[in-house]
Amino acid sequence: MSICAKRFTQSSFLFLALMGFNSLSAVSFAADAEAGKSTFNQCAGCHAVGPDAAHRFGPQLNGLTTRGAGAASGYDYSNALLKRVNEGLSWDDKSLDAYLAAPLSNMPGTKMAYPGLQSADDRANVIAYLKTLNPDGTIVGEVVEKVEVIKSDDSKERPLAIDVPIPEHGILHLGRVALAEEISAWDIDIRPDGQGLPSGQGSVLDGGELYDAQCASCHGVFGEGEGRWPILAGGQDSLTDERPEKTVGSYWPYLSTVYDYIRRAMPFGNTRSLSDDDVYALTAYLLYLNDMVDESFELTDQNFLDIRLPNEENFIPDSRSEESWFAATTEPCMNDCIEGVAEVIQRARVLDVTPDEDNDAQNGSLD
């Protein structure tokens, strides 16, 4: 079966954009909340649960069985859901199951731009898991130990750092020397020559399943990008256009950058959750989406350096520091560079880096 056919017939994808529920009765078929918790890991890119949960691209999902539909405070619901709420939407086992199976067809205009969860057992399990969450993010039936919070004395003003004298010995006693294992955990960058690349492998087929489950919600089923999320495929010969499409296949210089970025920063909201083999598989699948390999391809640490991206030759070393007009004529100032105290004259405030279609004017701005 080809990748394209498989993607429409077998989807392990699930990013629940559940908009809130009335009280649910017991799921009418056998459900395993623990299995649902495992499946819910696929949802963490857009949804949070637990005591510290906050809205992400989708609403936080604590207490879904006790809050009303579309009633999560502070979340900007789609007009499609609000319309259904006004029409008397009430989630029950039947309507919820149908919605999770095919969100776009069940509720056109919903923010759940996802294929849906095909397995009835998986849907039942996830619903069962969500029903175990209290509104405060604790688990139903669990005894939570109360911790006394000792508040600091705010009556005394703390001195500003600029007013604190530096000891004569110059040691501020802040922090400690990092442990070797701590440095190793952060030292995960990968160079174009392959240095830092972990051993492993991943196929296009495996990458397609991972992509469906954890990436397609934002980047589109075929890498075309959903809404204002980045496009990952195509864009060849567009770099001279007024609005070029800078994708892995059209712009990126090195495959090591692709692997490093996925490993370090993806999936959104659930970073560092992928294994090294998972990252190899997703990288292979992005190559496939950009028509650089076929669907039988497997990327490994042994053939990684054999892959050269089309735009590599258009990236050149930055030699500005060697040019005469760029060279500094004086020694740079390192202390007491201005008179008086530094003054903040402008502030940046990010409201929402991914504004909704209906709120472009209010969101995504820097001021």
- Tell me, what's the pLDDT at 96? 77
Per-residue pLDDT tens for 220-243? 999 999 888 899 999 999 999 999
pTM above 0.75, yes or no: no
pLDDT at 308: 96
The per-residue pLDDT for 26 is 41
**Which residue, of 314, 332, 350, is where some domain finishes?**
314
User: For position 148, what pLDDT does the model report?
Assistant: 64
Q: Do both 95 and 201 map to the same domain?
A: no
The reply to whether 343 falls in a domain is no
Q: Indicate if 11 and 84 belong to the same structural domain.
A: yes
Same domain, yes or no: 121 and 212: no
Q: CA separation (Å) from 360 to 47, 157, 352?
A: 22, 41, 10
Instruction: Look at residue 118 and tell me if it is in a domain.
Output: yes
Q: Is residue 152 part of a domain?
A: no
Instruction: Look at residue 365 in the predicted model and tell me its pLDDT.
Output: 37
Pairing of β 201-203 and β 298-300 = antiparallel
Which domain-ending residue is among 67, 99, 130? 130
**Residues in the chain, pLDDT under 70:** 1-30, 113-115, 143-155, 170-173, 328, 346-367
Give 84-153 as a DSSP string: HHHTT----HHHHHHHHH-HHHHSTT-S--S-----HHHHHHHHHHHTTB-TTSPBTTPPPPP-------
282, HSE (Cβ side, Cα atoms, 13 Å): 25
Q: Has residue 337 been placed in a domain?
A: no
Distance CA 116, CA 101 (A): 5
Domain boundary among 95, 130, 165: 130
Q: How confident is the model at residue 153, as a pLDDT?
A: 63
Residue 251 lies in a domain: yes
Query: Which pLDDT value is given to residue 192?
Result: 94
User: Does residue 275 form part of some domain?
Assistant: yes
In order of 110, 119, 189, 292, the CA distances from 1 in angstroms are 31, 20, 36, 20
3-state secondary structure of 209: helix
Domain assignment present for residue 153? The answer is: no
Count: domains in the chain: 2
Supply the pLDDT for residue 295: 95
Are both 117 and 14 inside the same structural domain? yes
Backbone angles phi, psi at 212, to 5 degrees: -55, -45
Q: What is the CATH number of the domain that holds 297?
A: 1.10.760.10
pLDDT at residue 28, rounded to an integer = 39
Q: Both 199 and 77 in a single domain? A: no
Does one domain contain both 186 and 303?
Answer: yes
Q: Which domain holds residue 97?
A: 3-130
Give pLDDT, residue 238: 94
Helix locations, the chain, DSSP H: 3-9, 33-40, 79-86, 93-101, 103-106, 120-130, 180-186, 204-214, 216-219, 255-265, 276-289
Which pLDDT score is estimated for 146? 65
| H/E element, 300 | strand 298-300
